[in-house]
Amino acid sequence: MKRLLILVALLLFFSACGNGDEAAETARDAAEAELTEFELQHGIGPIDEPLDLGDVQIERARAGAEYFDSRCASCHRMEQRFVGPPVGNITESRSHEFVINFILNPEEMTQRHPVGQALLQEYLTTMPYQNVTEDQAFEILDFLRHYADTGEDLREQ
Amino acid sequence: MVQKITLWKVSTVLLGIGLLSVLMYGCPSQTEMLDTGDAAQRVYVAPGEYDEYYAFLSGGYSGQLSVWGLPSGRMFRNIPVFSQDPESGYGYSEETKPLLMTSYGFIPWDDSHHPELSLTNSMPDGRWMFINANNTPRVARIDLTSFETVETLELPNTGGNHASTFATENTEYIIGATRFSIPYDMDLDVPIDTYSENFDGSLSFIGVDEETGEMSMDFQILMPPYHYDLGRAGKGPSADWVFFTTYNTEEAHTLLEINASEFDKDYIVAVNWKMAEEYVREGRAETVPAEYYHNMKDENTSIAVSNVHDEVLLLDPRDAPDMIYFLPTPKSPHGVDIDPTGEYIVGGGKLATIIPVHSFSRMLEAIENEAFEEIINGIPVLEYESTIVGEVEDPGLGPLHTEFDGDGHAYTSVYISSEIVKWSLETFEVVDRIDSYYSIGHLMITGGDTPNPDKRYMLGLTKTSRDRFLPTGPKQLHPAQLYDISGDRMEMLLDFPTIGEPHYAQAIRADEIRDNVKQIYDLDANNHPHAVKRTADARVERDGDVVRVYMTNIRSHFTPDNIEGIRVGDEVHFHLTNIEQDWDMVHGFAIKGSNNAEVLIAPGETKTFVWHPQRTGIYPFYCTAFCSALHQEMQGYVRVSPADSDVPLTWRTGED
């Protein structure tokens, strides 16, 4: 009984002025942690609806090759595992939307997306955000699509 | 049993307090706490929240400038300026070493006293911070988008640049002056007791480019061999003038403690800088020899470059009438501070029993009426009574510096009696006083040196802490105290230790700077001649004994990370480019046995670390900045072979 009273006293003392708003916020955070069908398939980030990109534009792919070289190549090879996974075939195994979202929002992708979480577990290094614009990310995507389609690495020209 | 009784009592008391507090007061709302809160609540900035003001505190004998938040008193950054900083590699990396070059060679230390924000219409515009070096006279400029020192300028023919840095209305000029008079020709070899004959004072006017901020030594004014202590520019009606205090008008050169304290009055110097500038443009200044360094970070390459100058324009008041006057002021005055209206010129009469207040408009009348006591070296001395409008009685012992609240009051720091006195600009009477802990030098009010002060906070910058904190030995950090000045009485809110000697400070509303601060250096705009922007370009090149390693850093590896073919006696330059483009992702570099500090490399930046290997062996290098979960793995090896070795130069990272 005495122990119960101590407990009640402590609880009352420390929680008499509990904040109702905080509880509601925690509940909202939990809801946000659950991803939509689109996010599960295409990643979390600025691309939140399906894309229809059409054919690779070779000039944009060439520009993408340059950005890939300066922003990505330090960690990614086309065919071999390096610091990060090989990306030569990435446009076959992942959607265009997923690749763009991963480039533009790597931190949230590795923390909240199940595929990102699994990649982090395997590779251990969080992919850095490399401050590329959305347009540059699409150029990098064209570079990767061109490689996947033709096997030609535009950096080698 | 004893314990049980105690617990029982405690629980009953807790229950009582819990119930009582809820019953009597309910739950306090956030607003109520802010409105009626005590000092702790008024300085509390919750985790993740931002402070209202940036405060920049000079480091005094640390030679640096530290950045703090007000009202929390949290420190954000210590910016290296005049002293080498092994923590960041400032003054150790090849890019930053030139910033510490002077006509006396490379100087690793100085004493930085008075920071000054750049001004537009006498209000801080958040573009640059200037600060002086007292020992080997210099002025530095800090860019407030990067919070980095980008420029230093040496002041020739000057001994101790103390009355600096203070800016004119639109930062046309930063002023400087000689604190310890010396022969104007600095290399002159004369007996010290020929002081009056051979020694001179000089005032410096450093031009500032309004677009780029680049400084230049525009001209100097030759002065009698007094000591020039502090300065301020006028504002409003007095904006065309700058003011300096003098001491040692006795012209003593030994035991100044006594010999420079004989006269009842020394002077405040009033200089019409616009007129002086005109005289210089008209060609009345003489071109005289003067060796001095001007060092500036090249915008394009981010490498600091030194330029040596060999002459300066010198204006002699005897050839330039009506531009400069002496205002007699008691006694060995320290600060000279101009009120927000630009009318009152307040002297900090260090050894005086009053605070003297001159009137700018009466000064102009006295000049018009030629109310001169005498003329010294072409400089008229105005009659004391012709300019003085107030003498604040009972200000305490040793009044030093004054700032203003824009609400009719001045606040003067008082060193010997260790207090701050608040006095009325109408009645010139003390209305409030509060203790400082201990021995206050400067004080700083938010906007208190501008035409439009924020009557919010005052920082007292003190010289000893003694019993204020847990003791740390015979030498302790100098503290600062934060006061609330929004009400009728001054209230102390906070007392905190700072870096070095917080000699003087500046504050600016955070929103004037915050959104302009860079998060990264743009890799695409990096034009450093030794930058490598793609891992594919990482390489090692040999040219005689000079080996250049072009290395990239990204979480979490160096490219290359295995280097062989280095020889004893080589000079190895590691050109490190951090190819990250993410905010605050800094990498560092250090290698075993190097006689150098680490270098930190900001995202997108290139820094160069020079190493002279002296013994054969395997030398590990590693990233010193904890950068990721695999930071510990961010390392590499250099193999050093004998001087006559034929081990080929090779490099690799991973499978390559």
- Please check the confidence at residue B242 and state whether its pLDDT lies above 60: yes
Q: Are B507 and B457 in contact (CB under 8 A)?
A: yes
A17 touches chain B (CB under 8 A): yes
Q: Are B383 and B326 in contact (CB under 8 A)?
A: no
User: ipTM exceeding 0.85?
Assistant: no
Assigned domain for B142 exists: yes
Average pLDDT over residues B110-121: 98
Residue-range domain boundaries for chain A: 58-151
A2 touches chain B (CB under 8 A): yes
Percent share of chain B, pLDDT over 70: 94
Q: Are B365 and B394 in contact (CB under 8 A)?
A: no
- Please check the confidence at residue B381 and state whether its pLDDT lies above 60: yes
- Please check the confidence at residue A13 and state whether its pLDDT lies above 60: no
- Which residues lie across from B243 on neighbouring strands? B232, B270
Confidence tier at B429 by pLDDT (50, 70, 90):
very high
Q: What is the pLDDT of residue B447?
A: 97
Assigned domain for B43 exists: no
B582 touches chain A (CB under 8 A): yes
> Do residues B474 and B599 share a domain?
no
Q: Kindly write down the DSSP assignment for every residue of B288-322, as one continuous string.
A: EEEEEEEEEE-TTT--EEEEEEEEEEEE-GGGSTT
> Do residues B455 and B536 share a domain?
no
Chain A residues close to B634, C-beta within 8 Å: none
Integer Cα distance of A22 and A28 in angstroms: 10
Token pair recorded at residue B180: 């310890």
Assigned domain for B630 exists: yes
DSSP state of B90: B
CATH of the domain at B642: 2.60.40.420
Which residue in A1, A4, A13 has the most chain B C-beta atoms within 10 A of its own C-beta, making it the best mutation to test that interface? Answer: A13
Q: What is the pLDDT of residue A31?
A: 42
Chain B residues close to A71, C-beta within 8 Å: 579, 581
Chain B residues close to A12, C-beta within 8 Å: 14-15, 18-19, 22
B57-81, pLDDT tens digit by residue? 999 999 999 999 999 999 999 999 9
Q: Are B135 and B158 in contact (CB under 8 A)?
A: no
> Do residues B324 and B417 share a domain?
yes
Interchain proximity A125–B520, CB inside 8 Å: no
> Do residues B537 and B610 share a domain?
yes
CA-CA-CA-CA torsion for A17, A22, A27, A28, nearest 10 degrees?
Answer: 160
Domain A58-151: homologous superfamily in CATH: Cytochrome c-like domain (1.10.760.10)
CA-nearest residue to B521 within chain A is A131
Assigned domain for B472 exists: yes
Average pLDDT over residues A69-73: 92
Helices (H), chain A: 2-15, 20-33, 37-42, 58-67, 90-93, 96-104, 106-112, 114-123, 134-150
> Do residues B133 and B229 share a domain?
yes
> Do residues B540 and B471 share a domain?
no
Angle, CA B537 vertex, CA B536 and CA B539 arms, to 5°: 110
Q: Kindly write down the DSSP assignment for every residue of B328-347, as one continuous string.
A: EEESS---EEE-TTS-EEEE
- Of A3-12, B144-153, B343-352, the least confident: A3-12
- The amino acid sitting at A117 is Q
> Do residues B412 and B555 share a domain?
no
| Domains in chain B, number | 2
- Please check the confidence at residue B438 and state whether its pLDDT lies above 50: yes
Q: What is the pLDDT of residue A17?
A: 43
Confidence tier at A7 by pLDDT (50, 70, 90):
very low
Q: The dihedral of CA A144, A145, A146, A150: what is its sign?
A: positive
CA-nearest residue to B14 within chain A is A9
Between B158 and A11, whose confidence is greater?
Answer: B158
Which one of A13, A70, A73 has the shortest CB-CB distance to B523?
Answer: A70
- Please check the confidence at residue B602 and state whether its pLDDT lies above 50: yes
Assigned domain for B425 exists: yes
- Please check the confidence at residue A76 and state whether its pLDDT lies above 80: yes
B19 touches chain A (CB under 8 A): yes
> Do residues B219 and B121 share a domain?
yes
Chain A residues close to B525, C-beta within 8 Å: none
Q: Are B235 and B452 in contact (CB under 8 A)?
A: no
Which one of A10, A80, A82 has the shortest CB-CB distance to B14?
Answer: A10
Q: What is the pLDDT of residue A20?
A: 44
Chain B residues close to A128, C-beta within 8 Å: 554-555, 580-582, 585
Q: What is the pLDDT of residue B655?
A: 65
Average pLDDT over residues B256-275: 95
Confidence tier at B35 by pLDDT (50, 70, 90):
very low
Assigned domain for B252 exists: no
A–B interface: beta-carbon pairs under 8 A: 86
Interchain proximity B11–A69, CB inside 8 Å: no
> Do residues B138 and B192 share a domain?
yes
Assigned domain for B65 exists: yes
B352 touches chain A (CB under 8 A): no
| Nearest Cα residue to B309 out of B103, B96, B164 | B103
End of a domain among B485, B514, B543?
Answer: B514
Cβ under 8 Å to A: B residues 603-632: 628-630
What is the β-pairing status of strands B304-315 and B215-223? parallel
Average pLDDT over residues A43-51: 96
- Please check the confidence at residue A11 and state whether its pLDDT lies above 70: no
> Do residues B116 and B168 share a domain?
yes
Chain B residues close to A6, C-beta within 8 Å: 7, 10-11, 14
CATH of the domain at B222: 2.130.10.10
Distance from CA of A34 to the nearest CA of B (A): 26
> Do residues B540 and B485 share a domain?
no
Distance from CA of A156 to the nearest CA of B (A): 11
Domain membership of residue B636 as a residue range:
524-652
Give CA B186 to chain center in angstroms.
26
Interchain proximity B579–A73, CB inside 8 Å: no
Chain A residues close to B1, C-beta within 8 Å: none
- Please check the confidence at residue A33 and state whether its pLDDT lies above 80: no
Assigned domain for B26 exists: no
> Do residues B498 and B583 share a domain?
no
Integer Cα distance of B132 and B642 in angstroms: 47
Token pair recorded at residue B29: 């709302």
Interchain proximity A5–B11, CB inside 8 Å: yes
Token pair recorded at residue B244: 């300096």
Average pLDDT over residues B591-607: 97
Q: What is the pLDDT of residue A6?
A: 52
